[in-house]
A and B are shown apart, each in its own frame.
Chain A
Amino acid sequence: DVKVTQSSRYLVKRTGEKVFLECVQDMDHENMFWYRQDPGLGLRLIYFSYDVKMKEKGDIPEGYSVSREKKERFSLILESASTNQTSMYLCASTRSRDYGYTFGSGTRLTVV
């Protein structure tokens, strides 16, 4: 089974801190994605990557950046955390855009 691992299940950070959320997949998938999930808003795409060193903005990239130095790892960076970035963050990967996504278990981030 494909496994997508997010490094932290729960995180509490202070406003203004730089925050790194790590995601690793073990099935050599080229496509990786970061979503945030908020009640009533569903899943919203922050950034995605179809290859190493490649990144594309999703629907809500403001305040975030990403890094994909290796195929298996896709990192989400909050440059200066703010309280409105308190959310559940979900990483996903897929072999091909015709296939289903495999999601990680999520990181629940609280910014205080």
Chain B
Amino acid sequence: GQSLEQPSEVTAVEGAIVQINCTYQTSGFYGLSWYQQHDGGAPTFLSYNALDGLEETGRFSSFLSRSDSYGYLLLQELQMKDSASYFCAVRDKNQGGKLIFGQGTELSVKP
């Protein structure tokens, strides 16, 4: 089977840096993705890591360590609009490559 663990809630202040961790267990692995979902909205794709290392896209970065079955999403220069739920998701090789989602981390950005 497969499972993903991420913190349920994180709180940070505007302008700060926050890291949301994700650990996973799968029988096969293609890559780790991150999605953002604002309250009442649809999840939107943020990043995808297939290989080890850091991927940077503006204020957001995502990291993967395949040997540790671990990844994180790093949000810099936090803004109020970053308050949302963040989901990590894995593509499981032995499940036809379909995406399996974690339960989500609710990020609250305070002034």
Partner of A100, one of B45, B50, B98: B45
A112 within 8 Å of B (CB atoms):
no
- Chain A residues near B35: list those with CB within 8 A: 100-101
Nearest chain B residue, comparing its CB with the CB of A9: B40
Q: Could you tell me which residues of chain A, from 61 to 112, have a CB within 8 Å of some CB in chain B?
A: 90, 92, 97-106
B58 within 8 Å of A (CB atoms):
no
Chain B min CB distance to A66 (Å): 14
A103-B50 contact, Cβ under 8 Å, with A42-B101, A45-B100, A97-B30: no
Decide: B103 and A105 in contact? CB cutoff 8 A: no
Nearest chain A residue, comparing its CB with the CB of B41: A105
A56 within 8 Å of B (CB atoms):
yes
- Chain B residues near A98: list those with CB within 8 A: 30-31, 48, 50
CA distance A66 to B104 in the complex (A): 26
A100-B103 contact, Cβ under 8 Å, with A33-B98, A42-B87, A90-B43: no
Decide: A45 and B43 in contact? CB cutoff 8 A: no
Decide: B99 and A101 in contact? CB cutoff 8 A: yes
Decide: B42 and A100 in contact? CB cutoff 8 A: no
Decide: A58 and B98 in contact? CB cutoff 8 A: yes
Decide: B33 and A100 in contact? CB cutoff 8 A: yes
Q: Could you tell me which residues of chain B, from 18 to 68, have a CB within 8 Å of some CB in chain A?
A: 30-31, 33, 35, 41-46, 48, 50
Nearest chain B residue, comparing its CB with the CB of A48: B98
Interface residues of B (CB under 8 A from A): 30-31, 33, 35, 41-46, 48, 50, 87, 91, 96-104
Q: List 10 other contacts, CB 8 Å, given A35-B101, A101-B35, A103-B43.
A: A41-B103, A43-B87, A43-B101, A48-B98, A56-B96, A59-B100, A92-B43, A97-B91, A99-B48, A100-B48
